[in-house]
Structure 1
Amino acid sequence: MFALVRRVDLADVVGAALVAKVSGAGARTIAEALGRPVETVRGWLRRFGRRAEHVRVYFTALLVEVGIDPVPPALAASSFAQAVSAMVGAWKSAVSRWPQIGEVSPWQAACAVSQGRLLSPSWP
């Protein structure tokens, strides 16, 4: 099981919310799609948004460090989107080196790498 610290929902649910936000959805739409309270989803998005630059830097460095032939993610429209892209890119880089990592989602991998503290103010 992959859950973030102080969160009831699994990393895959939070990850789906992050991807939906990058795709242009708002908190209400995301909450309805995931069957979660809008306040909960809004909290995830705000917390991640405040940490986005730190998350982007951390996962971009991880992507470069573990990848066999790493390709840093292209610039995105926002720091939020860049951070999500870096997380997925780091997962892809890890899968290129260790294919068995592909058995977990990018969000489960990010949860493991952050020791469940992806949305914590003190991480990374």
Structure 2
Amino acid sequence: MLTVGADAVVVERRLVAGELACPGCAGVLARWGHARARVIRVGSGRVSVRPRRAVCRGCRATHVLLPVGVLLRRADGVDVVGAAIVAKAAGLGARPVAVLVDRPLGTVRGWLRRFGCRVEAVRGWFTRLLCAVAADPVLPEPAGSVWADAVAAIGAAAVAVTARFAVTRVTVWQVVCAVSAGRLLAPGWPAGSINTSSSWAALM
């Protein structure tokens, strides 16, 4: 799975031009049909997406090209999930967070439980990302809780990414979606090294 830009026309053009690389072997990706259509809840509305599939010309692995802002196996956009995480970091409980983002309590509890199980690992991962991409990284000051520390690290890393790669018109949480390849709440993430060469296709 690879996170790409939200504009399907641009994604198609980049595929034809051979500009998208396989996350496994860095080979050139080519068109290979579509994944099933999905409805994603964004803010107070819904959007339908039908992600492109691609096949690597080198290793022959296939990948779903998930638009930035869409999380793996989640029905809600990353900005909605991010708003819930920020609210929790500010001290709100699951019930008021659910009211704030206008989502079912059980859904929000699931997001917060999953994020809470990895909150320290996420803080460390985004701190390393900040150090990897910033010319002169300034680490965030302690913010009062492990949740707030994680959100501060996420924000600082997102600023560093957008500055280094001259990215505009993206939200902090879209950057998070891109650098995590849509796996912010997926099992097993974060793990492994930080790849600073292939995570930016969704933001360009």
TM range (shorter): over 0.9
Cα offset for 1:99? 2.9
Q: Determine what percentage of the aligned residue pairs are the same residue.
A: 53
The yes-or-no answer on 1:35 pairing with 2:35 is: no
The yes-or-no answer on 1:60 pairing with 2:127 is: yes
Matched residues in 2 for 1:32 and 1:99: separation?
Answer: 35
Partner of 2:185: 119
Partner of 2:138: 71
Note if contact 1:12-1:108 (Cα within 8 Å) is conserved in structure 2: yes
Specify which structure has the bigger relative contact order, considering alpha-carbon pairs within 8 angstroms and separated by 6 or more residues: 1
Cα offset for 1:76? 2.3
Matched residues in 2 for 1:116 and 1:94: separation?
Answer: 16
State the SS of the aligned residue for 1:71: coil
TM-score by length of 1: 0.92
Structure 1 counterpart of 2:141, which letter?
A
Cα offset for 1:33? 1.6
Matched pairs, number: 123
Matched residues in 1 for 2:164 and 2:144: separation?
Answer: 29
State the SS of the aligned residue for 1:77: coil
Cα offset for 1:105? 0.7
Greater gyration radius: 2
Note if contact 1:48-1:80 (Cα within 8 Å) is conserved in structure 2: no
Partner of 2:86: 19
Cα offset for 1:10? 0.3
Structure 1 counterpart of 2:106, which letter?
E
List 4+ stretches of structure 1 deviating above 4 A: none
- Higher fraction of helix: 1
Matched residues in 2 for 1:96 and 1:112: separation?
Answer: 15
Matched residues in 2 for 1:32 and 1:15: separation?
Answer: 14
Note if contact 1:51-1:121 (Cα within 8 Å) is conserved in structure 2: no
Partner of 2:163: 96
Note the aligned Cα RMSD (angstroms): 1.2
Structure 1 counterpart of 2:186, which letter?
S
Matched residues in 1 for 2:164 and 2:135: separation?
Answer: 6
- Higher fraction of strand: 2
